Amino acid sequence: DAMVIQNPRYQVTQFGKPVTLSCSQTLNHNVMYWYQQKSSQAPKLLFHYYDKDFNNEADTPDNFQSRRPNTSFCFLDIRSPGLGDAAMYLCATSPPRMTKPQHFGDGTRLSIL
């Protein structure tokens, strides 16, 4: 089945130690998204790529960066994680048209020690 895969499912890092989360897709979708979801809250969009075009949300901290080396892969880099960055990070993909839904991975739960 075509899908969105996030690795790892659980990630533990130390305060201030850079961490990278990965996402891959077999759907061949143009658009890839990264969301942050804190406990008991809704997903919040951090940024998205339309092909190689990077689109940052205005309130996304500079501490969060992303790379998309090809259509299938996208990475979320947190340069200096703080305790407030502990959350579930969700990757999603979609075609560019709003008439098509987004497809989500099962997320990476990030813990900060």
Partner 1 sequence: DAKTTQPNSMESNEEEPVHLPCNHSTISGTDYIHWYRQLPSQGPEYVIHGLTSNVNNRMASLAIAEDRKSSTLILHRATLRDAAVYYCAQGIKAAGYKLTFGGGTRVLVKP
The residues of the shown chain that bind partner 1, judged by CB under 8 A, are: 4, 30-31, 33, 41-45, 48, 50, 53, 55, 90, 92, 94-99, 101-107, 109
For residue 9, list its beta bridge partners. none
Write out the two tokens for 102.
């987004």
Total Cβ atoms within 10 A of residue 29: 20
* Residue 14 or 55 having the CB closest to partner 1: 55
* Residue 19 or 23 having the CB closest to partner 1: 23
* Residue 14 or 111 having the CB closest to partner 1: 111
CA atoms within 13 A on the CB side of 10: 0
